[in-house]
Amino acid sequence: MRTEGADFPIVDIDEVFHILIPSRFPTVDLYERIAGGRDELFSAIETMTNPRVREKERLTQGLAPVDQQKPRFANWNHAPFVYPNPEGTRFFGADRNVVELSRDLQTALAISVAKREAFLSRTAEPATFLEMRQVVRPVRGHYVDARGWGGIGDRERRVKLGRAADDGALGDIDGILFNPWERPSATAIVVFKPECLGKPDQAEHFKFLWNGRKISTLYSFRKGVEYSPDMLGSEGKILAA
């Protein structure tokens, strides 16, 4: 039987992509609430058992310090490939770590809102707010182009395509391009390895307002502008320049 996706084109990517991660604004030291001024001590203890740090030490053993500062070892690039996602990702189960990014900020926001709403609904969270940080980084490599594919809404077909792409059945590739259902007109990407990621940089901060049923409002700290999450999935651009 011919592998689904075998006829998909492979395209070269060298662009900047986006993601939203939980944050605080203004930024605070990680152990500020409990350390009583002894942040360095708390940080040293945490480092002893941190799986990301242990994996970085394993990978960088014998490398010069300058080599250890390569983008692939940056926390925001390295961590997604070390900490398993118990629910899996769009094309994979919990046994395969990848990172999913969006070609533009509006799409990244649409995906982030959908994920946060699903989580908060499960836990019946009362009205609250979340602070989220935009992280951008270059992405390079060869990617199978699954945009326009009719199987994106079928979990079983997605997992089969992911497995075929990861096993090399679709060629020598570094991930998958696809149209996310959160914003079907847009492009998102699944990256298989941290070597394909450039230096990550922090960009905008947002506040997600959860009213107990859904995220009702997005607020941009930098622009001082509110957005309706219901408009994020539209084909047009709603974010202020």
Cis peptide before 180 (omega within 30 of 0): no
Res 24: pLDDT:
66
- pLDDT exceeds cutoff 90 at 74: no
Position 93 pLDDT exceeds 70 = yes
* Closest of 66, 30, 78 to residue 196, by C-alpha: 78
Residues 6+ apart with CB under 8 A from 97: 80, 81, 82, 83, 84, 85
pLDDT reading at 20 higher than 90 = yes
Question: Can you give the pLDDT at residue 85?
Answer: 81
Query: Got the DSSP string for 58-84?
Result: HHHTT--HHHHTSGGGSHHHHGGGTS-
Residue 241 has pLDDT above 70, yes or no: no
Pick from 137, 108, 97, 106: which is nearest to 14 by CA?
Answer: 137
The confidence score (pLDDT) of residue 47 equals 54
Q: Residues 24-37: pLDDT tens digits? A: 645 555 545 555 55
The rounded distance, in Å, linking the Cα atoms of 26 and 133 is 11
Strand partners, 140: 14
Confidence of residue 44 (pLDDT cuts 50, 70, 90): low
DSSP of 178-212: E--TTSTTS-EEEE--GGGB---EEEEEEEEEE-S
Tens of pLDDT along 180-203?
999 999 999 999 999 999 999 999
This prediction has a pTM of 0.80
| Nearest partner of 113 among 231, 240, 236, judged by Cα | 231
d(CA 66, CA 73): 11
- The answer to whether the beta carbons of residues 161 and 171 sit under 8 Å apart is no
CB 144 within 8 A of CB 5: yes
For the record, the structure tokens of 121 come out as: 């609904």
pLDDT of 66 reads 42
The Cα 97–Cα 92 span in angstroms is 8
Contacts of 215 (CB under 8 A, 6+ apart): 113, 116, 117, 120, 208, 209, 229
